[in-house]
Structure 1
């Protein structure tokens, strides 16, 4: 491909220095490549990373727009080798595409840019797994719409790790971060019974939204059930149900799924959520599944963080998913 296929993106501003000689011990920032003046050979890559610095559409006050770069800065604190799994992510090739261009006030324009970014990724290098760093959860609806636009004949399912249903009424509150799952259900892109939400709990969802989920067949598992059966079993069961019903499973991780003690940086952080090790295991299991073809990570506000607790948990979540992808690739 001789031209840069992303007019809707700003190229990465964070360009890390690389060692010219082959290294056996890479930090993540040394491993993930960035787009410079030369257009890369797209067929060489397994993972494309996209930043979406949007938080104007958040219901809660949020600077989640700063999360993509906060995560990028934290890459240097992590190495590509995962001791727990004896896996080196450097076996994969990953490239940072940069960030979706934002309009100062027009959320609708920015949402269209997000959708077209996904379309471009699927048209120009459909073999890669797109990994998106948000931004608030409103971006998920647009990324899934972009996937559907590029793959019109595919049936899409969603594996959602979240404290909330995110089934609020778009007609009432607009394109906010509480609406993405309802948006894709009501636009007939995803069937309700092809949504599996894991992580809801406590006093943070309304009865009306629970009733909507039941009416549309949305599958949901509370943290009480997760603690009874174990995250490993719950995620495997959800994937087993999805794999026979859909062509593509889209993984969306709202970082407010973590307990507030593990992640104070989520604008809607709550007590009673997942522990970090449960989240890391869940996304690694998802990464190993061949039908999980895209992931996003949303709703993290670095300004609310304490000692980079939330940001580093988000990077670890991203790398845990890629550990699963690496193991999948080795098996295939």
Structure 2
């Protein structure tokens, strides 16, 4: 067993049946005899959040929500239970040392990639600081594109150390990614200071506001971004900060704001993203289940987003291989 990956404190007793729930579909990695199509990694870190956050509790809340969803997607009339998804566990976190936590995250992702080099990687945060070490693990000589769904640029300076406001800045300053290969979609309103706009211009980060997205249309906008990235990068990493959603749809987010996306818009974006062969990994970050509604409104939205990404990949795989 890895020194930096531990078993989650919660797991389901799986029951295979015709009407399969997600809780019965996703396997602990030890129970899956075949190579997984998708590897799921929990990253329960929130000490590096600028806002007080219990995002470290989200991986467990996420797993508990699986009983509410089935493997049948009625929008496309497809059952995607054939997709093999393995839950490998959670990254071990240090109680106080954020840099050690980040080191563990990077090491854990490297181990996952070495063990399952052909799988698709899904990381469940945790705050947005986890993205930097996850992307660093992917580097290995590859040119990486980042597709970021976010209300914020996450380009704060690093004078106060790594936080959920600095992951993109960390990657740019370290030369892990190029600004021209970063596309931030969903920015809106009054939540990015002039210094951050200046940083985005300095690094040539691509800004696509929510207003622009709606004017262009989701399918066309994603097609344009994917085409641009395909001409430059080897792989694409997708990071989904749930604060991109309007506070009405995602109250369980420390930095929730009015004026953001609707859930259906995020789901449609991820469905389009899932069609790309270049996309190799995705993370979902900044969800605090302690702030959520009694009905777990935000947790359910993220699980829906996660499943939308996977069903899109499944359909794309089936179409590509003609099975």
What range describes the TM-score normalised by the shorter chain of this pair?
A: over 0.9
Q: In structure 2, how many angstroms separate the alpha carbons of the residues matched to 1:138 and 1:44?
A: 29
Instruction: Indicate the residue corresponding to 1:304 in structure 2.
Output: 291
Q: Does 1:329 pair with 2:320? A: no
1:86 Cα deviation (Å)?
1.7
Q: Is the 8 A contact 2:143 2:235 kept in 1?
A: yes
Instruction: Indicate the residue corresponding to 2:147 in structure 1.
Output: 159
SS at 1:173 equivalent: coil
SS at 2:123 equivalent: strand
Query: Scaled by the length of structure 2, what TM-score is found?
Result: 0.96
1:80 Cα deviation (Å)?
0.8
Of 86, 109, 134, the residue aligned with 1:95 is: 86
Q: In structure 1, how many angstroms separate the alpha carbons of the residues matched to 2:227 and 2:88?
A: 32
Of 13, 19, 27, the residue aligned with 1:17 is: 13
Query: What residue ranges of structure 2 are gaps of 5+ in the alignment?
Result: none
Q: Is the 8 A contact 1:140 1:252 kept in 2?
A: yes
Q: Is the 8 A contact 2:143 2:234 kept in 1?
A: yes
Q: Is the 8 A contact 2:145 2:181 kept in 1?
A: yes
Equivalent residues in 2 for 1:209-288, closer than 5 Å: 209-288=196-275
Of 107, 121, 129, the residue aligned with 1:116 is: 107
Q: How many residues align?
A: 319
Instruction: Indicate the residue corresponding to 2:304 in structure 1.
Output: 316
Query: What residue ranges of structure 1 are gaps of 5+ in the alignment?
Result: none
Q: In structure 2, how many angstroms separate the alpha carbons of the residues matched to 1:27 and 1:196?
A: 34
Q: Is the 8 A contact 1:28 1:80 kept in 2?
A: yes
SS at 2:186 equivalent: strand
User: What CA deviation, in whole Å up to 9, does each residue of 1:188-243 have, x standing for no partner?
Assistant: 01000000000001100011111111121110111111121222222221111111
Q: Is the 8 A contact 1:58 1:136 kept in 2?
A: yes
Q: Does 1:67 pair with 2:58? A: yes
Equivalent residues in 2 for 1:175-190, closer than 5 Å: 175-190=162-177
Of 107, 118, 126, the residue aligned with 2:117 is: 126
Instruction: Indicate the residue corresponding to 1:104 in structure 2.
Output: 95
Q: Is the 8 A contact 2:35 2:116 kept in 1?
A: no
Instruction: Indicate the residue corresponding to 2:25 in structure 1.
Output: 31
Q: Is the 8 A contact 2:9 2:60 kept in 1?
A: no
Query: Scaled by the length of structure 1, what TM-score is found?
Result: 0.94
1:154 Cα deviation (Å)?
1.0
Q: Is the 8 A contact 1:13 1:98 kept in 2?
A: no
1:131 Cα deviation (Å)?
0.2
Q: Does 1:192 pair with 2:175? A: no
